[in-house]
Structures are given as structure tokens and as C-alpha cells.
Amino acid sequence: MKKTQRRRRSFWIDITFSVTIIALTAAAIYLIFTTQKQEAAASPDKQKKKALAPTIIETIDSNYPGIKIITETSNDPFAPYAIQYPQSIHTAFNDEVLTYINDARDNYLVLMKENKKLGIETNGELNVSFETLAHHSGNYSFVLVTSMFTGGKAGTSEIRSFHLNPENGESITLSDLLGGNQIHLEKLALLIQEAIAQDAALENYVRPEAVKQYTKVDWPHFENFALTDDSLVFYFKEDSFAVRVAGPPIVALPIEKVDRLLTAKFKAVPEESEKEDGAEQPNAGSPMEQSENEGDNVDQQDVNDQEVADGKEGAPVKKVALTFDDGPDPKVTVQILEILDRYDAKATFFMLGSRVEYYPEIARQVAEAGHELGNHSWNHPDLTKMTAEKAKNEIQRTSQIIEKVTGKKSTAFRPPYGAVNTQVRNVAGLPVVLWDVDTLDWNYRDAKQLIGKVESSTKDGSIILMHDIHQSTADGLDAVLDYLQNEGYVFVTVSEME
Ligand code: ZN
């Protein structure tokens, strides 16, 4: 007995020793690291002087009156970014959004500079995109999603909401919605806790103790929200009450559940019986729509087959697939559809789910014109830097919105940046389609340059990459189609290419 106890004691001494040594080493590493970090942070001016690749800033009108979309991109190979945010005529709102955007960009660039100093070569990525949610009270909620990758195992993401009534420039708060009523806030907190407990998607990721902490009755806990006519949605910080891999938790409460807590102005519009029918209609209508369109496709296919058959006798038929990424876009995509129609050319549009949600009408036009619908993820992240689950969600969410909006399924997947690995292929659930001719239209932004790469690199079976978000691409497309047609190419979609 004694022997065992002594042995046990020395065992504990050993353990204590080892733990102390490990802790000291960790502390030393931490100190070295933070000192370097501070050094890097202390000299932002020096860093800014080093010229980065040029930043491109684009402004377009959104579908929402009074709101413009600003897109800022840097194609710097080491620290590229793509940032999109709303702009109004109201200074206070614009300043608030811009402060947030500038902080996000600066923070990213500083971290990337630090990496460079430390000799970390991994390319970073910053992506900010947003959606606009309208409410019958005239208020808009803008939901900005920021994803950042600066090396290491995984990226981080953050959701941040902004509010604006474009009529008067005012911004609603949760206190406005609840009329500052503390009891209503308590009831709301309970509803949120209930929703978290019942959310199957969060089930395996939630830390129950942290849920209590982050949903404690306190106004600031719930300031990150969006109000629509269907729901009141709350956004929480990543790694708050759910583990990091789950991303920033989103809790959506159906409007019926919260309506009694809202002040008159924000209460739901009186129930209309057509609402439910309306919601069902797109689905109910789609089979017929689809079969009609399929009919068209069959005709088109016959024509193509005919041409292919003819070709065997005469000159061999050469095929080329035109692909357009990153749309839909309310201006450019529409022009591209017109040009394609003139040449009776079918193409493939790899759309972003977030933009399909934003411009459903344009996505429908693409589908109705008989083009192939491709999935290009929801927000354009580098999927190889995400967990399988997040990557899958990016793709599935996009497939769902494409089908919901157009009544047709997306039939091919193109990973953002062409970044693909086995994991992405496994979760895609669709054929992964890349390209062999890159027009570099995003880089040149010059209509005359669009044809350059096409002329020099297109061959039978080529897949040409373009983007239906740049005016210059629409402007240069006619020349490209004219050239390819004269060269004897037949325009096919990517699925027809095989
Ligand atoms: Zn893209």
C-alpha cells in the first residue's frame, strides 16, 4: 500500500513538473508572438506605402430604390479581397457602414502583412457580401457577411446587420421594435432560447451554459438582427454559444411568434389567405414550366445533333462552351442574354446563391432563355479552406435557391477561384466544371481585350471563362461570338460538352 502511495506521489510530482514546463514554453511562445504582432500593428503607415495591386471600385444600382451597391476588389495575389456594401443618400448610415468596412479591410491587411513578415506564404482572402431584407414599414435590414482567411486552419466569419429607412435616413433598433418594453425583451429572449434548443442544425454545436450567457435579457445582446415580413432574425458571434465550426449562429423567429411583442408600426400586415397559396405557387407551377422548357431544350438539342451529324460529312464540328460566373447582375446579365439570343447560342451561368436571392428575376430570365444553370457557391469563398460541412452548406443553399427561383435544378458546379480538392468534390454533389480559356475579363475590364485570349487559346472542346458582372464583358461579347461562329464553332453548354 505504502509503496503504491509513494509511487503515486512521485507520479504527481512528475506531472506537475511537465505541466509547468509546457505552460512556461507556451507563455514564452505567446510573448514572442504578441510582441511581433504589436510591432506589426504599430507601423501601419510603413505598410501602406508598399503598393498593393490596384483596387477596383464599382458602383451599381440595386433593386431597392435609393440603395446602391459598392463593390471593392483587390486582385493582389497575396492579400486579395472582394468587398460589397450598400450605400444610400444618408450620411450617418453610410458612415456607419463604411467604418465597419474599413475596419474589416484594415484588420485583414494588417494580419496579412504580419504573415508576410513571419514568412507565412499562404494567400489570404477577404470577402464581404450583403443581402437586403425589406419590411413593409419601409425599413431595410442589410445583412453583411464577412469571411476572412489569413492562414491557419480555418477562416473566420462574422454577420453584422445595419438598418435604414431610405425615406428619412433613420435606423431602427430592437428597442424601437419592442417599444423599449423590458417584459417584451424577456419574452423575446425566451423565444430565442427556445429556438436555439429546437434548432437541429445547431444541436451538436451548442454550449448550453454559453447560450444562457449570450441570450441573457439585455438589449445589446440582440442588436444584431434583421426584420422581414416573415421573420425576425438574430445573428450571434462565431464561437459564442456554438463552437466555431458551426459558424455564426443565426436564430430566425417566425413573425407570428413575435408579432405580439412588436409595436403597432412593425406588426405584421393582416393575414391574407393568398399568402399561403402564393408561397406554394412557384413549386406547383414549376413542373409544367419545366416540361415546357424541356420541350424547347429538346428542340435545341435536335438542332445541335443535326448540326453535329451534318458536320461529320463536311468539316468536323467544333464545340465551345461559354460560361459566365459571379452573376446574376441586373444590367450585365440581361445584355448578355440578348447577345447570346442573337447568335442562338446557349451558355452556362455559374451563379452565386446570394445574388440569385438578390436578383431572382434575372436568374429566372437566364433559365427561361434555356441556358444551363450552374452553381458557384453562395458567397464566393475559397471552399478548400472551409470545413466539409460549411462548404456543403455553401453549395446546397445555392442549389436550393436556384431551384426555388427558377424551378430548375443547377446541373454543374464551379468552385470559386477554381479552388477544388477531394473534400470539395465529395460534398459538391454535382459535376465540377473548370475552364481552359480564361478571358481575364475581370482584370482587363476592356471590351476590346475580351477576344484576345479567345482567339489565341480556343480549341475544339474549350470552356471559356467570363463574368456576367462587368459591363466590358457584355460590350466585348458580340465580337467573341462573331469570331467563334465564323471559325465554325457550335455553342454548347458545359453538360453538352462531354
Ligand atoms: Zn467567381
Tens of pLDDT, residue by residue over 403-457, are 999 999 999 999 999 999 999 999 999 999 999 999 989 887 888 889 998 999 9
Q: Which of 32-46, 270-284, 418-432 has the highest mean pLDDT?
A: 418-432
Picking from 210-214, 250-254, 265-269, which range would have the lowest pLDDT averaged per residue? Answer: 265-269
What is the Å distance from ligand 1's center to 161 Cα? Answer: 25
Residue 332 has pLDDT above 90, yes or no: yes
DSSP 258-292: HGGGS-GGGSPPPP-THHHHHHHHHHHHHHHHHHH
What is the Å distance from ligand 1's center to 468 Cα? Answer: 10
Q: Quick one: pLDDT at residue 21?
A: 60
What is the Å distance from ligand 1's center to 356 Cα? Answer: 14
pLDDT band at 233 (very low <50, low <70, confident <90, very high): very high
Q: Quick one: pLDDT at residue 412?
A: 97
Picking from 179-183, 201-205, 349-353, 409-413, which range would have the lowest pLDDT averaged per residue? Answer: 201-205
Q: Give bridge partners of residue 231 from the DSSP assignment.
A: 254
What is the Å distance from ligand 1's center to 415 Cα? Answer: 8
Q: Quick one: pLDDT at residue 105?
A: 96
Give the pLDDT confidence of 47-56 residue by residue, as tens digits. Answer: 444 455 678 8
C-beta of residue 373 within 8 angstroms of C-beta of residue 410: yes
Rounded alpha-carbon distances, angstroms, from residue 488 to 60, 315, 319, 409, 496: 37, 9, 9, 31, 17
Residue 297 has pLDDT above 70, yes or no: no
- The mean pLDDT of the chain is 83
What is the Å distance from ligand 1's center to 51 Cα? Answer: 25
Q: Quick one: pLDDT at residue 48?
A: 44
Q: Quick one: pLDDT at residue 272?
A: 44
Q: Quick one: pLDDT at residue 30?
A: 56
Cα 73 from Cα 81, distance rounded (Å): 6
Amino acid found at 226: A
What is the Å distance from ligand 1's center to 472 Cα? Answer: 16
Question: Which is more confident, 1 or 494?
Answer: 494
Q: What is the CA radius of gyration of the chain?
A: 27
What is the Å distance from ligand 1's center to 336 Cα? Answer: 17
Neighbours of ion ligand 1 (CB under 5 A): 325-326, 416
Q: Pick from 80, 93, 95, 166: which is nearest to 382 by CA?
A: 80
pLDDT band at 60 (very low <50, low <70, confident <90, very high): confident
What is the Å distance from ligand 1's center to 416 Cα? Answer: 5
Q: Quick one: pLDDT at residue 423?
A: 93
Tell me if residue 23 falls in helix, strand or coil: helix
Give the pLDDT confidence of 444-491 residue by residue, as tens digits. Answer: 788 888 999 899 999 999 999 999 999 999 999 999 999 999 999 999
pLDDT band at 291 (very low <50, low <70, confident <90, very high): very low
pTM above the 0.75 mark? Answer: no
Q: Pick from 184, 248, 181: which is nearest to 214 by CA?
A: 248
Give the pLDDT confidence of 66-82 residue by residue, as tens digits. Answer: 899 999 989 888 999 99
What is the Å distance from ligand 1's center to 263 Cα? Answer: 43
Which residues participate in catalysis according to the annotation? 325, 467
Residue 128 CA neighbour count, 13 Å, CB half: 27
Kindly state the percentage of the chain with pLDDT values over 70. 79
Question: Which is more confident, 84 or 43?
Answer: 84
Phi then psi dihedrals of residue 71, to 5 deg: -120, 125
Q: Quick one: pLDDT at residue 146?
A: 93
Residue 224 has pLDDT above 90, yes or no: yes
What is the Å distance from ligand 1's center to 341 Cα? Answer: 23
Residue 119 CA neighbour count, 13 Å, CB half: 0
Give the pLDDT confidence of 306-322 residue by residue, as tens digits. Answer: 444 444 445 678 999 99
What is the mean pLDDT of the segment spanning 147-164? 89
Q: Quick one: pLDDT at residue 464?
A: 97
Q: Quick one: pLDDT at residue 364?
A: 97
Kindly state the percentage of the chain with pLDDT values over 90. 60
What is the Å distance from ligand 1's center to 371 Cα? Answer: 18
What is the Å distance from ligand 1's center to 87 Cα? Answer: 23
DSSP annotation of 447? G
All residues at 6 or more sequence positions from 190 whose CB lies less than 8 Å from its CB, including other chains = none
Residue 83 has pLDDT above 90, yes or no: yes
What is the Å distance from ligand 1's center to 404 Cα? Answer: 22
